[in-house]
């Protein structure tokens, strides 16, 4: 019999009773797999790996460099002209595309084969398929926001090579279907840290609905997560207390909704893009210190100096670009030399509060008291106040209308999620990218930068995509 082989990653257990997603690859024949709980778990874990691996780093570096509040070095520097993407940028975008479709393929294998297993219960099967559908939805959500319509590959056309580019609405239809299944079949608590739960699926669903401008639905979905009582903001008393959220020694927090988990053995190579390494060693090469800002940057200058986030996130360091250069302290691992064990925050509770505030404001054409309260919780915490109690830095809903509250919220999201690769996606979905680039840099954003090009590798491989008619504008 001819066996189809695929790569799966068996994830090791860390610490005594803690379980965290880790990887160790081996090949397994699909015809004999999926018959025990442990086998299916290994296959599900394999679905996460492509979007957590270091090969996916370009997703973060490109998104961070596109935003107008952070500068890039090396091949990323070309982005700062906002005239178009360089050949190196486009090559790296192709790598992101590949990793996302690897995650989708691994998820499709789980969705297709898990129901056939003989050694798992129906409840277990539904949970594992729910996790796989979460990963698939996550991956397609990344694709549709950056490329618009893309080929839809599911368990139904798993081995089909030539798949046409689907409409944006079709991609979102699959995402919504997958997340609806996931929220209905995933448990309250993840089976291990770094895996999806019911509330993780609801959070991603709220983000999708927000992006689609389905304001009441996005508001209500975010409220489900808030009302669950599963999460709370971490209290901050000093700027350094933000290490309680982002520090290398943090296993999990009350604020963690969904994080990619890393440790000393499987380090996070992105650390080298942000700051000096733990032992003070300054590696050579264009990628090191790839992200920086400047004390004269408009976004930075307009940020209140009393905000602990500003104090925590940046420090002066001359990288050959002048004395005004600022690097970031976010994700520093004091013991890291080539990587870091800091986890990557995909979704935090602070963002859920801001999702609700934005959606509620749009749904009601103005900020409700609850919308303002949710924003204030995040804002208070940034100044060291108890997020649950009124403070001297609170904003008053009566002073804002729909548009001015949105401006306030977009600014607050920019401060709260800086260096979490959210800013560019926020500017894209709100249609404010050109405006904010002009405001903060004085430059005109080329329209071609609003979408990434379909990779040459996909066009060469997939004959259902016309290299001219199906390519994004400007490429």
Q: Which tens digits make up the pLDDT trace of 416-455?
A: 999 899 999 999 999 999 999 999 999 999 999 999 999 9
- Judge whether 357 and 391 are in contact, CB under 8 Å: no
For residues 295 and 436, what is the distance between their CA atoms, to the nearest angstrom? Answer: 18
For 27, left (φ over 0), alpha (ψ -120 to 50), or beta? beta
For residues 10 and 460, what is the distance between their CA atoms, to the nearest angstrom? Answer: 32
Query: What is the token pair recorded at 155?
Result: 């368990």
Q: What CATH class has 5-262+343-461? A: mainly alpha
Q: Indicate if the pLDDT at residue 2 is higher than 50.
A: no
Give residues with Cβ within 8 angstroms of 89, minimum separation 6.
62, 75, 76, 78, 79
* Residue-averaged pLDDT of the chain: 87
Distance from chain centroid for Cα 289: 21
Q: Is 151 helix (H, G, I), strand (E, B) or coil?
A: strand
Question: What residues pair up with 28 in beta bridges, in sequence order?
Answer: 6
Using one digit for the tens of pLDDT, what is the confidence trace for 281-295?
344 444 444 456 666
Q: What is the pLDDT of residue 250?
A: 84
CA contacts within 13 A on the Cβ side of 474: 15
pLDDT-based confidence at 30, cuts 50/70/90? low
For residues 22 and 53, what is the distance between their CA atoms, to the nearest angstrom? Answer: 10
Q: Tell me how far CA of residue 359 lies from CA of 352, 406, 439, 463, in angstroms.
A: 11, 10, 25, 40
pLDDT-based confidence at 340, cuts 50/70/90? low
Average pLDDT in the 386-400 region?
98
For residues 317 and 205, what is the distance between their CA atoms, to the nearest angstrom? Answer: 40
Average pLDDT in the 116-141 region?
97
Question: Could you report how far apart the first and last alpha carbons of the chain are, in Å?
Answer: 45
> Which residue is associated with the tokens 């090791």?
12
Q: What is the pLDDT of residue 332?
A: 72
pLDDT-based confidence at 261, cuts 50/70/90? confident
- Judge whether 253 and 245 are in contact, CB under 8 Å: yes
- Counting every residue written for the chain, the total comes to 475
- Judge whether 40 and 110 are in contact, CB under 8 Å: yes
Q: What percent of the chain is predicted at pLDDT more than 70? A: 83
**Burial level of 209, CB count in 10 A (0-12/13-18/19+)?**
buried
Using one digit for the tens of pLDDT, what is the confidence trace for 138-190?
999 999 999 999 999 999 999 999 999 999 999 999 999 999 999 999 999 99
Q: Which residues of 258-284 are buried (b: 16+ CB within 10 A; e: fewer)?
A: bbbbbbeebbbebbbbbbbbbeeeeee
Q: What is the pLDDT of residue 147?
A: 99
């Amino acid at each position: 019999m001819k066996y189809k082989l695929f790569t799966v990653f068996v994830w090791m257990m860390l610490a005594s009773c803690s379980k965290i997603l880790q990887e160790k690859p081996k090949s397994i024949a699909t015809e004999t797999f999926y018959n025990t709980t442990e086998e299916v778990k290994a296959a599900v874990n394999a679905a996460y790996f492509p979007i957590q691996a270091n090969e996916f780093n370009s997703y973060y570096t490109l998104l961070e460099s596109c935003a107008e509040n952070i500068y890039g070095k090396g091949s990323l520097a070309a982005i700062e002209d906002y005239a178009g993407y360089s050949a190196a940028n486009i090559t790296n975008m192709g790598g992101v595309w590949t990793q996302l479709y690897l995650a989708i393929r691994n998820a499709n294998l789980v969705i297709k084969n898990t129901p056939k297993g003989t050694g798992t219960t129906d409840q277990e099967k539904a949970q594992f398929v729910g996790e796989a559908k979460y990963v698939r939805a996550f991956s397609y959500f990344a694709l549709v926001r950056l490329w618009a319509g893309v080929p839809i590959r599911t368990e139904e056309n798993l081995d089909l090579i030539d798949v046409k580019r689907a409409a944006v609405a079709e991609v979102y239809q699959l995402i919504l279907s997958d997340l609806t299944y996931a929220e209905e079949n995933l448990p309250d608590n993840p089976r291990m840290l770094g895996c999806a739960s019911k509330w993780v699926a609801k959070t991603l669903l709220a983000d999708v609905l927000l992006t689609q401008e389905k304001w009441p639905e996005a508001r209500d979905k975010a409220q489900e997560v808030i009302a669950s009582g599963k999460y709370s903001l971490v209290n901050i008393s000093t700027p350094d207390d933000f290490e309680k959220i982002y520090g290398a020694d943090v296993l999990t927090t009350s604020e963690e909704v969904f994080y990619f988990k890393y440790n000393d053995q499987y380090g996070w190579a992105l650390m080298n893009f942000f700051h000096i390494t733990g032992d003070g060693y300054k590696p050579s090469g264009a990628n090191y210190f790839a992200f920086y800002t400047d004390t004269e940057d408009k976004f930075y200058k307009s940020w209140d100096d009393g905000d602990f986030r500003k104090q925590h996130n940046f420090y002066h360091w001359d990288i050959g670009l002048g004395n005004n250069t600022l690097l970031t302290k976010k994700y520093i691992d004091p013991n890291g030399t080539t990587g870091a064990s800091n986890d990557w925050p995909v979704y935090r509770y602070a963002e859920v509060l801001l999702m609700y505030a934005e959606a509620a404001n749009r749904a009601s054409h103005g900020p409700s008291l609850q919308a303002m309260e949710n924003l204030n919780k995040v804002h208070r915490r940034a100044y060291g106040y108890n997020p649950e109690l009124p403070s001297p830095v609170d904003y008053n809903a009566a002073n804002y209308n729909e548009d001015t509250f949105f401006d306030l919220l977009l600014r607050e999201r920019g401060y709260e999620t800086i260096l979490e690769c959210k800013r560019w996606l926020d500017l894209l979905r709100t249609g404010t990218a050109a405006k904010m680039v002009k405001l903060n840099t004085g430059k005109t954003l080329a329209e071609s930068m609003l979408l990434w090009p379909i990779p040459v590798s996909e066009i060469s491989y997939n004959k259902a995509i016309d290299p001219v008619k199906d390519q994004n504008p400007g490429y």
